[in-house]
């Protein structure tokens, strides 16, 4: 859809996911090199300039490895067989509520030919599992599920080969039945425990997993494709599922970190004596890093309050505030704002120009960042909630100048992330306190810390300009995302000439990944702009999209959602207080469309979303129950961004750092949902944790635009 005349600079999304800039604005979490000289003693230090270190961390190669991981080096790294019949499958992915544990279990059981109850799944313990990369970018389903399937299929093939070798029969004469190889003719059978007892066969587990091992075709799936419930369900409803913040170690202390009063504030001096005077309290300072640890959180808090009262700060220079955010981002666009290369074609044509604004929002997972760190014999173990177990291990190894094999990171199933838990500041903080205290230390950020010191979903400005030809079709399309990212910046519509780009800016807040990343911003802007262009062309939004859509998968979800919602019947009805809108989009190999019904209260400048019909397609469905939960959750999270979510800040301070002031969706906000999960067993499975979020906000914006005629160019949507 991009012509030769178009200018394209946006790289593909996967490569950029991890390379997405994480700007550390003034606050370095005490991690400067100089600080570590003090911690470890200059004599132990190998001179490496901070510049060289950070450069090596930022190379594309490194990002790619961190993101994708190395995978299992051999079959033994993926599957352990016990001679008592136990089967343990290992994977480097994490479970944060998105359902990876169930799907990976299904993948293993399917190919091993055993019931799921036979398989023990170990996730994200760097001391045990292969590096499957980050749990991000909807990567578990398209990459780790197949990796686990290949390992399991290879193990099953070894079992079959072993049994046939023992029995001296052809492989065509045996079959898999209930987790055993059966030779019906002689009524013999052989299971994984038999294989595990054979030393020569086990030796074969040292070999690499063949990449061309045959996997079970979708039409023969018995375990995959079924709605397997969460394996930890009972532990969750009885309160016994141990989250990172529930981990306790013998002799453990509870930690608290001193936070600056604003971004860029510098600690000039502090007196630790009041904390050290308290019984059993340890206070640790290392340049800008100050923390305390005590036998209870309460006492740690008191100790922190006592020393915090003595702290002297130098405030940084004035910083931009949310009120000037969008002007600031535009003014700081790298290389200036790109001109529309099709500007000379606009004369005489019907054209439209809009500026869309998407604010910072916070992931706000219900379990705040938490870590327990324990040092023993020069080795460090950290239990923490993170999407990046091996990356956190590297971060810890770098911070404490250890080799990676001296650090073990264990990620218990944790309380959600949404792209917000890629970095390991809190793991490093807990480890620094534990080192200072000489005892294991538990650290859990408060909700205020979470809202202030965790990175944000990037804010962005999107400049869009397009022209229509005489037939009301889009002739030229110029679409520039400033600051928030390149994901889904390209249009999926068939347009003559396009120029879609991402331009970096200087973000005033520290930003990073998010559910769907910049696809949330880019799809909002594009789909809102499409409705304005449809209006300019005098066309119905559905018909206008159809006339520009060739992609059959995107067309299919759009048609499914529209027909479910009865779009064509509803556009003919007029009701002053009811509005309808639709939007669609694609990202990371999956496709979504949503239609919404919104009830307006014009006098109060308020609206309520009454109904959402969403169709979503991600290839062959691995677990329909989990997929439904992901789609529901993404719609509701997208609703939050459309209705209210917006981080407000002023001169280095967050003004709404609490659930009281930053309202996330609640039960009362939830509309009627009609969700159509379009199954395509003929297509490879794509991930589903992100893309279902991207259609909801623009559909709401389009409903409001349709009803009021007033252009909606910002989130949250206001009327």
Partner 1 sequence: MDRKISLKLNGRLRTVTTDPDRPLLEVLREDLHLTGTKYGCGEGECRACTVLVNGESTPSCLTSIGNVDKQTVLTIEGLANGDRLHPVQEAFLAEGAFQCGYCTSGMIMGVAGVMKQNPAAGEAEYRAELEKHICRCGGYPKYATIVRRLAGMPRAEKAHV
The binding site for partner 1 (CB under 8 A) comprises 96-99, 229-230, 232-234, 236-243, 245-246, 248, 254, 296-298, 364-368, 413-416, 418, 444, 446-447, 625, 629, 632-637, 658-660, 664-668, 670, 673
Looking at beta carbons only, is 447 or 546 nearer to partner 1? 447
User: Closest separation between CB of residue 126 and partner 1, Å?
Assistant: 21
Q: Pull the structure tokens for residue 389.
A: 């177990």
User: Closest separation between CB of residue 383 and partner 1, Å?
Assistant: 13
Looking at beta carbons only, is 71 or 420 nearer to partner 1? 420
DSSP state of 269: E
Q: How many helices (H) and strands (E) does the chain have?
A: 22, 25
Looking at beta carbons only, is 219 or 238 nearer to partner 1? 238
User: Closest separation between CB of residue 222 and partner 1, Å?
Assistant: 20
Return the sign of the alpha-carbon dihedral for residues 132, 137, 140, 144: negative
Cα 473 from Cα 467, distance rounded (Å): 8
User: Closest separation between CB of residue 442 and partner 1, Å?
Assistant: 9
Cα 129 from Cα 365, distance rounded (Å): 25
Looking at beta carbons only, is 203 or 234 nearer to partner 1? 234
Any residues with CB less than 8 A from the CB of 67 and at least 6 apart, and which?
A: 14, 17, 18, 133, 134, 136, 137, 139
Looking at beta carbons only, is 199 or 237 nearer to partner 1? 237
DSSP state of 317: S
DSSP secondary structure string for all residues of 578-614: EEEEEEEEEETTEEEEEEEEEEEETTTTEEEEEEEEE
Q: How far is CA 616 from CA 85, 359, 549, 612, 687, in A?
A: 40, 26, 17, 13, 11
Cα 490 from Cα 558, distance rounded (Å): 18
User: Closest separation between CB of residue 392 and partner 1, Å?
Assistant: 19
User: Closest separation between CB of residue 234 and partner 1, Å?
Assistant: 6
Cα 336 from Cα 621, distance rounded (Å): 44
Cα 340 from Cα 47, distance rounded (Å): 48
User: Closest separation between CB of residue 261 and partner 1, Å?
Assistant: 19
Any residues with CB less than 8 A from the CB of 681 and at least 6 apart, and which?
A: 218, 219, 225, 620
Looking at beta carbons only, is 81 or 612 nearer to partner 1? 612
Contact of 170 with 156, CB cutoff 8 Å: no
SS (H, E, C) 487-531: CCCCCCCCCCEEEEEEECCCCCCCECCCCCCCHHHHHHHHHHHHH
Q: How far is CA 167 from CA 164, 174, 183, 186, 192, in A?
A: 5, 10, 9, 9, 16
Looking at beta carbons only, is 234 or 312 nearer to partner 1? 234
User: Closest separation between CB of residue 258 and partner 1, Å?
Assistant: 18
Q: What is the enclosing helix (H) or strand (E) of 554?
A: helix 552-565
- Cβ atoms within 10 Å of 68's Cβ, excluding its own: 17
Sheet containing 606-617: order of strands: 578-587, 590-601, 606-617, 672-678
DSSP secondary structure string for all residues of 367-405: S--EEEEEEETTEEEEEE--S-HHHHHHHHHHHTT--GG
User: Closest separation between CB of residue 645 and partner 1, Å?
Assistant: 11
Any residues with CB less than 8 A from the CB of 258 and at least 6 apart, and which?
A: 267, 270, 290, 291, 292, 304, 307, 308, 311
User: Closest separation between CB of residue 10 and partner 1, Å?
Assistant: 29
Looking at beta carbons only, is 647 or 664 nearer to partner 1? 664
Q: How far is CA 633 from CA 140, 418, 494, in A?
A: 18, 11, 31
User: Closest separation between CB of residue 692 and partner 1, Å?
Assistant: 11
Looking at beta carbons only, is 5 or 240 nearer to partner 1? 240
Looking at beta carbons only, is 508 or 665 nearer to partner 1? 665
Cα 293 from Cα 526, distance rounded (Å): 50
SS (H, E, C) 168-208: CCCHHHCEEECCEEEECCCCEEEEHHHHHCCHHHHHHHHCC
User: Closest separation between CB of residue 134 and partner 1, Å?
Assistant: 17
Q: Pull the structure tokens for residue 339.
A: 């001109």
User: Closest separation between CB of residue 239 and partner 1, Å?
Assistant: 2
User: Closest separation between CB of residue 214 and partner 1, Å?
Assistant: 32
Looking at beta carbons only, is 71 or 665 nearer to partner 1? 665
Looking at beta carbons only, is 192 or 254 nearer to partner 1? 254
Cα 579 from Cα 193, distance rounded (Å): 63
Looking at beta carbons only, is 233 or 438 nearer to partner 1? 233
Looking at beta carbons only, is 48 or 236 nearer to partner 1? 236
């Amino acid at each position: 859809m991009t012509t030769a005349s178009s200018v394209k600079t946006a790289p593909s999304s996967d490569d950029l996911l991890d390379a997405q800039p994480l700007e550390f604005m003034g606050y370095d979490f005490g991690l400067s090199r100089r600080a570590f000289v003090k911690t470890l003693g200059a004599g132990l230090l190998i001179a490496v300039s901070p510049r060289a270190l950070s450069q090596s961390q930022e190379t594309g190669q490194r990002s790619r490895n961190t993101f994708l991981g190395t995978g299992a080096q051999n079959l033994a790294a993926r599957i352990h067989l016990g001679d008592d019949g136990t089967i343990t499958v290992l994977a480097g992915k994490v479970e944060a509520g998105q359902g990876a544990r169930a799907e990976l279990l299904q993948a293993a059981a399917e190919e091993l030919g055993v019931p799921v109850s036979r398989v023990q799944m170990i996730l994200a313990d760097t001391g045990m599992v292969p590096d499957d990369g980050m749990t991000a970018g909807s990567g578990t389903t398209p990459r780790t599920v197949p990796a686990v399937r290949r390992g399991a299929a290879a193990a099953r093939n070894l079992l079959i080969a072993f049994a046939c070798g023992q029995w001296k029969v052809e492989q065509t004469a045996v079959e898999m039945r209930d987790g055993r190889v059966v030779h019906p003719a002689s009524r013999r059978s052989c299971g994984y425990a038999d294989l595990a007892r054979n030393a020569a066969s086990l030796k074969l587990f040292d070999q690499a997993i063949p990449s061309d091992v045959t996997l079970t075709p979708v039409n023969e799936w018995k375990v995959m494709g079924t709605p397997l419930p969460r394996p930890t369900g009972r532990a969750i409803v009885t309160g016994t599922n141990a989250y990172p913040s529930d981990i306790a170690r013998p002799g453990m202390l509870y930690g608290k970190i001193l936070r600056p009063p604003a971004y860029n504030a510098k600690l000039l001096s502090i007196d630790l004596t009041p904390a050290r005077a308290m019984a059993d309290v340890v206070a640790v300072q290392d340049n800008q890093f100050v923390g305390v640890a005590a036998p209870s959180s309460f006492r740690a808090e008191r100790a922190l309050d006592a020393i915090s009262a003595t702290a002297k700060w130098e405030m940084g220079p004035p910083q931009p505030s949310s009120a000037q955010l969008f002007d600031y981002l535009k003014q700081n666009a790298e290389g200036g704002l790109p001109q529309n290369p099709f500007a000379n074609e606009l004369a005489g044509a019907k054209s439209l120009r809009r500026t869309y604004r998407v604010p910072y929002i916070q992931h706000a997972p219900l379990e705040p960042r938490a870590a327990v760190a324990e040092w023993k014999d020069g080795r460090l173990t950290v239990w923490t909630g993170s999407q990046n177990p091996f990356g956190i291990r590297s971060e810890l190894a770098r911070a404490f100048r250890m080799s990676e094999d001296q650090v073990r990171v264990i990620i218990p199933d944790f309380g959600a992330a949404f792209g917000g838990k890629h970095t390991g500041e809190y793991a490093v903080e807990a480890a620094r306190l534990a080192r200072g205290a000489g005892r294991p230390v538990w650290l859990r950020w408060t909700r205020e810390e979470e809202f202030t010191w965790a990175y944000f979903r990037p804010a962005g400005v999107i400049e869009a300009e397009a022209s229509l030809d005489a037939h009301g079709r889009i002739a030229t399309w110029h679409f520039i995302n400033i600051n928030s990212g390149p994901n889904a910046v390209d249009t999926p519509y068939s347009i003559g000439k396009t120029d879609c780009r991402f331009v970096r800016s200087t973000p005033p807040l520290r930003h990073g990944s998010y559910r769907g990343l910049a696809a949330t911003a880019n799809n909002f802007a594009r789909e809102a702009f499409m409705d304005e262009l449809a209006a300019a062309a005098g066309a119905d939004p559905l018909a206008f999209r159809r006339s520009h859509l060739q992609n059959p998968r995107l067309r299919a979800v759009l048609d499914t959602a529209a027909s479910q919602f009865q779009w064509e019947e509803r556009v003919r009805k007029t009701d002053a207080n009811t509005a309808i809108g639709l939007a669609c989009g694609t990202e990371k190999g999956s496709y979504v469309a949503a239609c919404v019904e919104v009830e307006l209260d014009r006098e109060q400048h308020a609206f309520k979303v009454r109904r959402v019909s969403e169709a979503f397609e991600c290839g062959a469905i691995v677990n329909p129950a989990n997929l439904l939960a992901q789609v529901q959750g993404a719609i509701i999270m997208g609703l939050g961004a459309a209705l209210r979510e917006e981080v407000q800040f002023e001169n280095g301070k967050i003004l709404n750092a609490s659930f009281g002031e930053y309202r996330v969706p609640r039960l009362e906000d939830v509309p009627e949902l009609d969700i159509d999960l379009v199954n395509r067993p003929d297509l490879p499975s794509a991930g589903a944790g992100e893309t279902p979020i991207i259609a909801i906000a623009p559909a709401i914006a389009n409903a409001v635009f349709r009803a009021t005629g007033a252009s909606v160019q910002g989130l949250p949507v206001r009327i």
